[in-house]
Amino acid sequence: MLAIGHDDGLPLVYLAEGAANVVYRIRSLPLDPSTSADLSFESYGPNTPPPTEIEPLHMDPRLEGKLVRLRKKTSSTTPVAESQKHFDNMIKPLFPPENLVQQILFQPSKDLLKDCNARLREMENNGARPAKRHDFYLAEDETYGMLVTDMSCSDDSYQFFEFKPKWLAQSPSAPLESKRCRTCALRAMKKGSKPGLCPLNLMDKSNIVTAVCRIMGLDLRRLQDYSDSTMEMLDRLRDFLLKDPLLRRLRQLQIDKDPNGVLKANIVSPDCLSAMTLRDCTLYLKVGQKSIDARLGDLDLKSGKGKAEYWRGLERQLIHGGWYTATENEKTVGENLCQLA
């Protein structure tokens, strides 16, 4: 992890990154009115709602429990203000506030973005940045960044888990004789028979232990070898996922927003784009002694531009290549079957 010191003028610590964004933790600094922050919360344009007015970064207690998320410059990423508009209008009304990683727009200084990119290049040079993320940097022409709910754990009083629920209901386009769900079919096509989380197991009382083992990184065949505390955590997550309505709500929305499947849907419609967004979000679980905080994140707008044919082409590959029906080729037939089998 790369720490960016106060002497650099950047009170941010690199935390993680995905294909579209880099996430930073805000480093705690002493209150010092003589020091100005690099994140400025300025006025918006005429067509964008104003951000929450916040004092300099290191001085404002309202920034506690927040992370900084900055967008990368790639052809597939959506401008931050557009993603925020979609989140406010299309996603927030669907879930209780406590079930979402909340997002607040802010305006980063140009120097902050340039310096963060310089740090990313330094990380590449010293081997501190994942190789698959090399050569992709922050969009220095981006006007906005986001403050998001911090679901990470900085002390031992919490444990943290995250996973992508993906397609909690089978693709409406899949063949009736399918032996794999959409997620397992795609995994088989991309990685052969390597096992992974089957989303359908999350919905099934008899198979949810298998899903929780995947989430926790446990070997289902060796449960007797794990400690009492590990097994207690497994039981807590199993009971929580069975009883909490969040995943069932997510599944129903995936169905309602795209009842016909990508081969028949108007892919650029708000509903279909929302369905695809909800099929690629992340569930974050912050587990304390007496409570579990569960929130959905990674809810950036999926862009229909350029994606329509990709999604349709992928679905045709899964269907015609026999990946849904597990008839893809003689060597792997019957491998990596999911709950459907």
The strand pairing partners of 149, in sequence order, are 66
Distance (Å, whole) CA 73 – CA 57: 24
Domain ranges of the chain: 6-149, 159-320
First-to-last C-alpha distance (Å) of the chain: 42
62 DSSP assignment = G
Is a pLDDT exceeding 80 seen at residue 304? no
- pLDDT for the residue 330: 62
CA 312 from chain centre, in angstroms, equals 22
CATH number for the region 6-149 comes to: 3.30.200.110
pLDDT tens digit sequence for 32-80:
433 333 444 333 344 444 443 333 444 456 677 889 999 999 887 889 9
DSSP secondary structure, 223-271, as one string: GGGS-HHHHHHHHHHHHHHHH-SHHHHHHHHHHHH-SS-TTTS-TTSHH
- Does 192 score more than 70 pLDDT? no
Q: Where is mean pLDDT largest: 11-25, 68-82, 239-253, 258-272?
A: 239-253
Nearest to 201 by CA among 190, 187, 215: 215
DSSP code of 72?
B
151-176: pLDDT as tens digits: 987 677 889 999 999 999 999 999 99
CA distance 149 to 51: 16
Binned at pLDDT 50, 70 and 90, residue 209 comes out as: very high
Q: Is the pLDDT of residue 29 over 80?
A: no
Rounded to 10 deg, the angle between the 308-320 and 182-191 helix axes is 80
